[in-house]
Structure 1
Amino acid sequence: MRFGLLDRYILKIAAGAAVILLVGLTSVIWVTQALREVDLMTGKGQTILIFFTVTLLSLPALIAGIAPVALFMATLYTLNKLNSDSELIVMNAAGVAPHRLTRPFIALTLITAALVGWMSLAVMPAGFRALRDLITLIRADFVANVVKEGQFVSLDSGVTFHYREKQGQALLGIFMQDRRDPNQPAVYIAERGQSAEADGNSFLMLEKGTIQRESRNQNSSSIISFERYALNLSALTGDSDGGAGGGDGDKVIYKPRERTTWALLRQDKNEPYYKIQEGRFRAELHNRLSAPLYPIAFMLVAFAILGEARTTRQGRAAAIQIAIFLVGAIRIGAYAAWTASVRSPIAAALLYILPLGTILLAALAIGFGSRTRVLVDRLTEPLIAPFLALAARFRRA
């Protein structure tokens, strides 16, 4: 694709608007999320470096979600600016076909789609996995260094931790109650313990103690004595996926969003956690694979509706509203399809049908050119007619 002066001019406007919108929207949302993590410093005694690391690991997910919207808004802004400055009218008068103007937008869209694909397929899973490991280390540091001696502190929903006193790096008189599973509560008691790390996991090494387990379904209980016991602190990360935190106490089981795309494609069907959460694995994989299609669909919708020159600001405002409504409907439909695909494999196909169908229809609308503009005008006329009549009444008055 060879770019001329006109293409570079339009691309400069659209790319500048897209970057500003992406940075601005991402920054605002990131700040609101970062404020919710202030407890890392105030309540868990972590450094500002850990605070920023935890919050920055959420940026790939924000960028992947905001980039298509930023591209859509940048396309609307660019086309509206060209029309307001009468540049679209001049281009049409000079014989420039409307579909010819799509070239700079297509170039920007391909860059955005590549960015979204890279974030969704590679960066996001790595970020979530790193965040999971970091939270585990924070939890270990919280247990060993932040919990005050003699205090009963709730580490998570259903988990209570206490130690009598601290001697060097060792904790003496340890008590922990784990009631996250109401049907199988457990109580850990040990004379001493010390945090340790192995194979990327954090453990609390307990010495000379007992584990009391109760099975309320079977109405039975058991007490196990031990000399040394490694308590995996990864199990205290607060997962709500029914075992994603390491149900066997020895190994961290990563959730679908924390696994690489290649791992999801080559998923072991016999894995116990996969059998429990098969729908989530399916939804996560198809959501990642379909993500790069939405920037293309959003841009084409904006261009199909606003790519033609217009002489009335009112009609253009109504057309912008229609474009926003269509993109909002597509985004909501994609979210509904993603949610439904957890339960139905057929619903996963909608994640591809929605953007591909939109791309096809929008491309046809761009090909029809002026006919599409006439159709949009007919649809928007009932919306703007009351406002035009009100304006005329004020002029007569």
Structure 2
Amino acid sequence: MTLIERYIFRNVVTGFISCLLALTLVIWITEALKQMDLLTGKGQTIWVFFTVTALSLPALITVIAPVALFIGAVYALNKLNGDSELIVMSAAGVAPGRLLRPFGYASLAVALLTGWMTIWLMPNSFQGLRDLVTNIRADFVANIVKPGQFTALDSGVTFHYRERQGATLLGIFFQDRREQGKTSIYLAQRGQTVELDGQSYLVLEKGSIQRQDGGNGDNSIVNFDRYAIDLSAFGGEGGEVVYKPRERSTADLLNPNVKDGYYKMQAGRFRAELHDRFAAPLYPVAFMLIAFAALGQARTTRQGRGFAIILALAGVVAVRVLGFLASSAAVRSPAGVIGIYAAPLLGSLFSLLLIFFPDRVAVLTDRLDAARARLVARLPALPLRRA
């Protein structure tokens, strides 16, 4: 890169990094506040709290990075124009392609970062987050329940114990109402959690099981000396973790198990998630080109740039919204995949036309305005009503 290109590149990267850090920090604080119940309600350590919030960052950064690049490009172009540097470069004969080159380097770097995160890092972080949350919910005795409190879990289980003596729990009450119309109540004098082959079990001693079947009115009571309950059954569906499409690796999405029941129900989401990952690196390039098309032309200090920034922002929002709509359409139909790639590519193509062929675009705009004027002139005039 030449000296001018390095100078422009440095301004773009400075604006991008500053915006990326600021937006990431704000959104990370918001996510951290949502996870505060890990400390207050589930008795987790500060390390687990930070781990959970950190695992959600890659998904946030993949959305924030293109927006941060757009803001960084707007910042650099405004700075160049405010210091009259764009006017000097234009007067010196600097072509738009040369001026665009450092912006292209920055967008390429962000696109590579976004692609790496969406294709590899983000699914791994989602999978790690799912495993961690599942383990926290599975071992609810150690992580959630407090002595003397009746704790209701999401899976329809209520647990209570009177007090703890070391690793032993005394006065245990355990109610399981996960199956509609059926209730099982476990009462035990004592019990403790044990680990066996990576699974957590609650071993009860000296107690009874009361089963109530509301459908046929059958009730039964069974006494036991020792009874073990598999706690992993309360952390997921049947103790087996089923990963969602966004939690699966890109290789799994490319070669899914077509016989899997979950895949048969969610085949559209698998398809949309896969193509969303491949299309994600296109958005940094599209957003940068939109910013350059709106603000890359030299203007005097008397010419306001606020309207151009508003148009650029509207273009970025339109491209991103079209991408979301196409992703939703791809869930229902394979034809929606075209829209996933078309949204950023069309935004980039139109921006390139504005950058390199502004005269032709102006002629086309004038023709459209003339056609609109002729159409309005042919419309019958509406009669005025007198008050």
**In 1: Cα distance, 2:68 partner to 2:260 partner:** 39
Which segment drifts farther, 21-30 or 41-50?
Answer: 41-50
5 Å-filtered alignment, 1:233-312, equals 233=232, 235-236=234-235, 245=236, 247-249=237-239, 251-311=240-300
Residues 53, 374 of structure 1: alpha-carbon distance in 2 compared, 3 angstrom cutoff: farther
**One-letter code aligned to 1:271:** D
Looking at CA atoms only, which structure, 1 or 2, has the larger radius of gyration? 2
Identity rate of aligned residues, in percent?
55
**In 1: Cα distance, 2:276 partner to 2:181 partner:** 35
CA contact 1:136–1:201 (8 Å) conserved in 2: no
Residues 73, 145 of structure 1: alpha-carbon distance in 2 compared, 3 angstrom cutoff: closer
Residue 69 of structure 2 corresponds to 71
CA contact 1:69–1:298 (8 Å) conserved in 2: yes
Match for residue 5 of structure 1 among 3, 6, 20: 3
CA contact 2:110–2:284 (8 Å) conserved in 1: yes
Which segment drifts farther, 304-313 or 143-152?
Answer: 143-152
1:255 shift after superposition:
1.7
**One-letter code aligned to 2:276:** N
Match for residue 351 of structure 1 among 335, 340, 360: 340
1:108 aligned onto 2:98:
no
**In 1: Cα distance, 2:302 partner to 2:153 partner:** 58
CA contact 1:140–1:203 (8 Å) conserved in 2: no
Residues 172, 256 of structure 1: alpha-carbon distance in 2 compared, 3 angstrom cutoff: farther
5 Å-filtered alignment, 1:337-376, equals 337-369=326-358
Residues 298, 155 of structure 1: alpha-carbon distance in 2 compared, 3 angstrom cutoff: same
5 Å-filtered alignment, 1:61-210, equals 61-144=59-142, 146-156=144-154, 158-172=156-170, 174-179=172-177, 183=180, 187=184, 189=186, 191=188, 193-197=191-195, 202-204=200-202, 210=209
1:278 shift after superposition:
2.2
1:22 aligned onto 2:20:
yes
Name the SS of the counterpart of 1:254 in structure 2.
coil
**In 2: Cα distance, 1:322 partner to 1:123 partner:** 34
Residue 377 of structure 2 corresponds to none
**In 2: Cα distance, 1:376 partner to 1:19 partner:** 36
| Equivalences, count | 364
CA contact 1:304–1:372 (8 Å) conserved in 2: no
State the Cα deviation string for residues 190-226 of structure 1 (Å, max 9, x = none). Answer: 645543456665554567765858697xx79898979
CA RMSD of aligned residues (A): 3.1
State the Cα deviation string for residues 104-140 of structure 1 (Å, max 9, x = none). Answer: 1111111101111111111111111111222233334
**One-letter code aligned to 1:6:** I
TM-score, length basis structure 1:
0.81
**In 1: Cα distance, 2:365 partner to 2:168 partner:** 73
**In 1: Cα distance, 2:242 partner to 2:221 partner:** 25
**In 2: Cα distance, 1:339 partner to 1:205 partner:** 47
State the Cα deviation string for residues 247-289 of structure 1 (Å, max 9, x = none). Answer: 333x222222211111111110111222222222222222212
Name the SS of the counterpart of 1:65 in structure 2.
helix
CA contact 2:199–2:230 (8 Å) conserved in 1: no
Residues 8, 340 of structure 1: alpha-carbon distance in 2 compared, 3 angstrom cutoff: same
Residues 94, 220 of structure 1: alpha-carbon distance in 2 compared, 3 angstrom cutoff: farther
1:54 aligned onto 2:43:
no
Residues 214, 55 of structure 1: alpha-carbon distance in 2 compared, 3 angstrom cutoff: farther
Name the SS of the counterpart of 2:184 in structure 1.
strand
Residues 373, 231 of structure 1: alpha-carbon distance in 2 compared, 3 angstrom cutoff: farther
1:158 shift after superposition:
3.3
Q: Which runs of 5+ in 1 are unaligned?
A: 237-244, 380-397
Name the SS of the counterpart of 1:361 in structure 2.
helix
State the Cα deviation string for residues 146-178 of structure 1 (Å, max 9, x = none). Answer: 423343111226332223554542445544445
Residues 124, 372 of structure 1: alpha-carbon distance in 2 compared, 3 angstrom cutoff: same
Residues 99, 180 of structure 1: alpha-carbon distance in 2 compared, 3 angstrom cutoff: farther
Which segment drifts farther, 167-176 or 356-365?
Answer: 167-176
Residues 276, 189 of structure 1: alpha-carbon distance in 2 compared, 3 angstrom cutoff: farther
**In 2: Cα distance, 1:318 partner to 1:27 partner:** 29
Which segment drifts farther, 342-351 or 51-60?
Answer: 342-351
CA contact 2:136–2:143 (8 Å) conserved in 1: no
CA contact 1:172–1:193 (8 Å) conserved in 2: yes
1:189 shift after superposition:
2.3
